[in-house]
Amino acid sequence: MKTRLSLYDTTLRDGQQTQGVQFSTEEKQIIAKSLDALGVDYIEGGWPGANPTDSAFFDEAPKTRAVLTAFGMTKRNGMSAENDDVLAAVINANTQSICLVGKTHEFHVTTALGITLPENTSNIAKSVAHIVAVGREALFDAEHFFDGYKANPVYALEAIRAAYDAGARWIVLCDTNGGTLPSEVGRITGEVIASGIDGARLGIHTHNDTENAVACTLAAVDAGARQIQGTLNGLGERCGNANLTALIPILKLKEPYASLYETGVSDAALETLTRTSRMLDEILNRVPLRQAGFVGSSAFAHKAGLHASAILKDPSTYEHIIPSLVGNTRIIPMSNQAGQSNLRRRLGEAGLVVAKDDPALALILDEVKAREGIGYSYDTAQASFELLARKALGQMPELFEVKRYRVTVERRKNKYDQMISLSEAVVVVKVDGEKRLSVSESMDETGSDRGPVNALSKALVKDLGQYSVLLEDMRLVDFKVRITQGGTEAVTRVIIDSQDGQGRRWSTVGVSANIVDASFEALLDAIRWKLIRDKR
Ligand SMILES: CC(=O)SCCNC(=O)CCNC(=O)[C@H](O)C(C)(C)COP(=O)(O)OP(=O)(O)OC[C@H]1O[C@@H](n2cnc3c(N)ncnc32)[C@H](O)[C@@H]1OP(=O)(O)O
Ligand SMILES: CC(=O)C(=O)O
């Protein structure tokens, strides 16, 4: 019989403490629904009363199977739990469950709160007892617990014991500053259980300041803790919290966890993990972290020729799990590290079937390696690679020809006497046997300047004859510029990420001494790739 672990998500509370992150109420609702569909047990929605967004979220709280939890702090000294207005606002959110953070480190009690240790112990006990008395489930986040235990174990244990005896369902040991290492977390969690606190009522909340938040969480589970707190994509204060997008697949797929424990996440829900992770990045307007374990786009990318050759024989040679289990996909990127196995695999994925002994394979490989030598990079720019291969195989349709283009950048005063930039692009193309000239400006509908590459992009797609309609749902989502050689030999590499209404995302590359030329080349590849895919 497996032991059930409780998963507690704090993306909407500790995740919102990430520098630069501020969810709207609507975004919080979307994230809460995704977490619910994933199968976590608790969703900590924020701190009602602390800011208008968190209060509004609880006012219009989504209906979830997961227990929606409001977060707050223990009552302030000198007032009763019943009369503390900060605590009242948390209770008034009317959630089934309430998590209160309280001090357990003597230094913080005397320095940050400026009260005595017995006063703090009493505040914890009275706050938790009040939550229980008003009929809610209470959780106690024991702030700075591990540092506090190392400084004064007797007091740290007394503080959590106060919450435990007052009826807290979960006592959550927090490594608030994120500096504790896994061996210490394991040892101290074991000692807490040995002191008489039931492991079935013990949770763990870690931060990633030493890149060990996931390892510390697993150490606490190994020692007997049964609730795991974490966030999607490891969002959270400073360096983030324990990453649930890593912990969930570890618990479900890795031993000894898979045999010993179960969670509320089903196998089918696990297959939505990558999508859920990218949904959060999309809300945050962040480019997903390629190297993220399990869900990153490089998590199953096999670049080296030797790896790809073996992967073709059996994927388990270089993969620790089957990517589809977490909703991810295998990628065989092309680069100067590649051999013919990578190449045939990649071509097959693009619908280009080439025999093993076709001389074009060697030509394509030589071309990739030669172009990488002058600054191109194809391991991310998969779409440009595909076009290069099509040319070598004689399978590149003509589509359209660019005859010339021009971009001007002007700095001038607007009617409000403010200095503004304005770019204008002129592109002449030959399409369907006819020459067409298009002009576009860089100003968007809000009046902001979007720069010369945007003006070029708009001019290019404006009149491409039969193709313009196919490009209506295409947009540029990321633009990366890199100088690949220093000094007077400087070469600019531009990588453009594009996306369309069908949810496809593709990367293209352009290289030139001139940044506009490099951007234009990447832009042309992006358009050509989309047209070939849509025509197919
Ligand atoms: C470890 C964690 O991540 S816990 C989560 C922390 N999250 C947040 O702080 C985000 C939301 N917080 C807020 O919006 C605000 O801090 C509020 C609304 C809660 C409080 O705002 P303010 O009343 O202006 O207080 P402020 O933020 O300056 O300071 C916190 C006060 O709470 C007291 N306090 C801190 N922790 C606790 C606690 N666990 N129990 C009781 N009081 C506490 C502090 O001593 C301080 O009081 P003081 O000003 O008398 O010294
Ligand atoms: C409660 C919390 O977020 C912490 O101690 O880190």
pLDDT of 17-51, one tens digit each? 999 999 999 999 999 999 999 999 999 999 999 99
In this prediction, residue 82 carries a pLDDT of 97
pLDDT of 210-265, one tens digit each? 999 999 999 999 999 999 999 999 999 999 999 999 999 999 999 999 999 999 99
Kindly give the residue spans of alpha helices, DSSP state H, lying in 141-181.
145-151, 153-165
Rounded distance from Cα 184 to ligand 1 centre (Å): 28
Mean pLDDT for the stretch of residues 199-212: 98
Q: Which fold has domain 3-265?
A: TIM Barrel (3.20.20)
Residue 336 has pLDDT above 70, yes or no: no
282 pLDDT band (50/70/90 cuts)?
A: confident
Mean pLDDT for the stretch of residues 352-371: 86
**Mean pLDDT computed over every residue of the chain:** 93
- Enter the tokens of residue 144: 């700075």
In this structure, the residues whose C-beta lies within 6 A of any atom of ligand 2 are 14, 101, 141, 143, 174, 176, 205, 207
Identify the residue whose tokens are 């031993």.
255
CA-nearest residue, atom 4 of ligand 2 = 176
**Single pTM value for the model:** 0.79
Mean pLDDT for the stretch of residues 76-85: 96
In this prediction, residue 271 carries a pLDDT of 96
CA-nearest residue, atom 6 of ligand 2 = 176
Kindly give the residue spans of alpha helices, DSSP state H, lying in 358-488.
359-373, 382-392, 452-462
Rounded distance from Cα 14 to ligand 2 centre (Å): 7
Identify the nearest ligand to the CA of 172 by its number: 2
Identify the nearest ligand to the CA of 10 by its number: 2
Q: 47: Cβ below 6 Å to ligand 1?
A: yes
Q: 101: Cβ below 6 Å to ligand 1?
A: yes
User: Which is the closest atom of ligand 2 to the Cα of 17?
Assistant: 3
Note the ipTM here: 0.94
Sign of CA dihedral 47, 53, 55, 59: negative
Residue 524 has pLDDT above 70, yes or no: yes
Residue 486 has pLDDT above 60, yes or no: no
Mean pLDDT for the stretch of residues 320-340: 84
Mean pLDDT for the stretch of residues 291-309: 89
CA-nearest residue, atom 3 of ligand 1 = 14
Residue 334 has pLDDT above 80, yes or no: no
User: Which is the closest atom of ligand 2 to the Cα of 172?
Assistant: 1
- Give residue 375's region: left, alpha or beta (phi > 0; psi -120 to 50): left
Q: How many CB atoms lie within 10 A of CB 469?
A: 10
In this prediction, residue 517 carries a pLDDT of 94
Rounded Cα distance, 192 and 217, in Å: 15
Residue 399 burial class via C-beta count within 10 angstroms: exposed 0-12, middle 13-18, buried 19 and up: middle
